[in-house]
Amino acid sequence: MRDDRKAKPTLLASFLAHSGMAALIAAAIMLAAAFFTADRLALAGASDALVSDLDGIGTLEEFASSFPGRGSRIALDSTGQPISGVQSPGMGMGMGMMGYGMGYGSQSRGTGARTEAEGWDRSEEVVDRGRLSGYGDIPWAEGSTVWAAKSIEEQGQGTVILVTWRKASSVRSEGWALYVMGTAGIAVASGLNMALAARVARRLSAGLSSVAESSRRMAAGDYQTRFGPQEVVELDQIASSLGELAGDLKSRTAELVVEKERLAKLEQSQKRFIADASHEIRAPLATMAITLDAWKDRLLTDEEKEDALKHVRDEVARLGALAEQLLDLSRIESGRIPINIGELDVAKVVEDVVSSYRGQQGAGVSLMKEAALPKAMGDEQGLFRIVRNYLDNALGFTPEGGTVSVRIAVKDGFVEVTVADDGPGIPAEELEHVWDRFSRAERQRSVGRPGTGLGLAIVKAVADAMGAEVSLESVEGEGTEAKVRLRVPADC
């Protein structure tokens, strides 16, 4: 996949480009609105000033001699024609003629839109309303003006219209400083806005870069990565979510490592199981083959034939027991042997197991139990099998005349059954493997005791299936203690 990251802009550059364009457009709109508003305000202010100037005038004489207004002025009759002697000085040649009773005559204005003899078209409106102001063209000035008009009653002349005006260009020139200040203010505000936006974008970009860098480290397997607090809620939520993801990945990775190690151990255990099972099957088959070959070749005496026949029968029985125990172990681990967990009388089950060994030759078996033992949770057949296996092992490794003791006691909410012998014990290096399949086969053969080496593996599988706890403690040369613990129900 093509890496086009270099062709893409950074968040800061993209933000500045888009916000800069938006700021320029906004500034242009604001400037246009500001110019328009300032222009309207300046013209309205000039119009209000002219109206105020006219408010102080009551007679034509005052208007002609002492008018305080700053604009040009003229007096008109009710038809809109100039009254001689009342006009602003310096109004031009054409205007001087109309100011001294010459009238407009037939001279027309430069626009040709109307003749001066027609008079002012707003005169009737001024007379009707008494006062009027406005913005636009008037017959006595060139260009746009701001004007105000007022009608008064003059003795001997009737209705007189007083008109004063200022050129719009003059008004605008006086407000130029205001326009400049407004423009400068908008420019400064836009610049500050851009600077603030750039600062915010830079901080957001730095936060995103920090989160991105931490994410890259996390993707590389560094789940110790910590995402610091961010300045905005959204970034803080992203950082928090990524931090939770890192923690989850760390725990899941640890679980996978543990599972991998467990599977590796299981694989080794299976390989060892196959090797041990092959050895346990091959050894009796080999001895039987040798014995039968000697029989076929007539190498055995009658007495040796009896011993050989007994040996073959023993090996066949051993192979049968091995096959049966392998099937039992497989059924237990796969759940095909039903485990019925309920309240059981531990003492009764143990007594049944012990009674089956009475009268046998070899080591003796003693039973000690506490009085009024509570019931415990477990499977009766499973407990019977565990205790019987413990006793088989203990009696097998205890010399004749020795003692195997069985004790039943209550301890820490459990009914505990202990089978102890004073046999040779188990070496420390072998103790951790006693629950493995075939782990004791070599030791059993070394002392001349037959066995499959699957007994304790079956014990562990049964205990796990019914929720019991099993353990083995041994000191080489002193003996071994095998225990099974069953939980006492809460209501007992």
Question: What span, in angstroms and rounded, lies between the C-alpha atoms of 391 and 378?
Answer: 19
pLDDT per residue, tens digit, the chain (492 aa), is 445 555 666 666 776 677 777 777 877 887 788 778 878 888 888 888 888 888 888 888 888 776 666 678 899 988 888 887 655 543 433 333 233 232 333 233 333 334 444 678 899 999 999 999 998 898 888 889 999 999 999 888 889 999 999 998 888 887 777 677 777 877 787 778 777 777 777 777 777 777 777 777 777 777 677 766 766 677 777 777 777 777 777 788 888 888 898 888 777 767 766 776 776 777 778 888 888 888 888 888 888 888 888 888 888 887 887 777 777 777 776 667 778 899 999 999 999 999 888 767 667 889 999 988 999 999 998 999 999 989 988 888 888 778 899 999 999 999 999 999 988 888 888 888 888 777 654 455 445 555 667 788 888 988 998 899 999 999 888 889 999 999 999 876
Query: Do residues 380 and 463 share a domain?
Result: yes
Query: Do residues 35 and 162 share a domain?
Result: no
Query: Do residues 73 and 194 share a domain?
Result: no
Count of alpha carbons within 13 angstroms of residue 22, beta-carbon side: 9
Query: Do residues 363 and 462 share a domain?
Result: yes
Count up the domains in the chain and report the number.
3
Task: Name the nearest CA neighbour of 365 among 386, 345, 395, 387.
Answer: 395
Residues 458, 325 contacting (CB under 8 angstroms): yes
Q: Which residues pair with 161 in a beta bridge?
A: 76, 151
- Specify the pLDDT at position 379: 92
Query: Do residues 358 and 437 share a domain?
Result: yes
The full DSSP string for 275-312 is: HHHHHHHHHHHHHHHHHHHHHHTT-S-HHHHHHHHHHH
Query: Do residues 203 and 168 share a domain?
Result: no
Query: Do residues 364 and 478 share a domain?
Result: yes
76 lies in a domain? yes
Q: Is 414 helix (H, G, I), strand (E, B) or coil?
A: strand
45 lies in a domain? no
| Domain end marker among 174, 208, 235 | 174
Query: Do residues 34 and 110 share a domain?
Result: no
CA distances from 429 to 400, 422, 469 (A): 27, 19, 22
- Specify the pLDDT at position 252: 84
Query: Do residues 63 and 181 share a domain?
Result: no
Query: Do residues 30 and 142 share a domain?
Result: no
Contacts of 40 by beta carbon, 8 Å cutoff, 6+ apart: none
- Specify the pLDDT at position 473: 92
478 lies in a domain? yes
Which tokens belong to 1? 């996949």
- Specify the pLDDT at position 367: 92
Which tokens belong to 87? 């006009």
**Phi, psi for residue 109 in degrees, rounded to 5:** -75, 165
CA distances from 143 to 103, 137, 147, 309 (A): 22, 6, 12, 143
| Domain end marker among 111, 142, 174 | 174
Sign of torsion, CA 347 352 353 359? positive
Which tokens belong to 249? 């990945």
Query: Do residues 90 and 61 share a domain?
Result: yes
Which tokens belong to 399? 């010399």
Query: Do residues 203 and 146 share a domain?
Result: no
285 lies in a domain? no
CATH of the domain at 375: 3.30.565.10
Residues 436, 269 contacting (CB under 8 angstroms): yes
Range of the domain at 13: 5-39+176-217
CATH of the domain at 142: 3.30.450
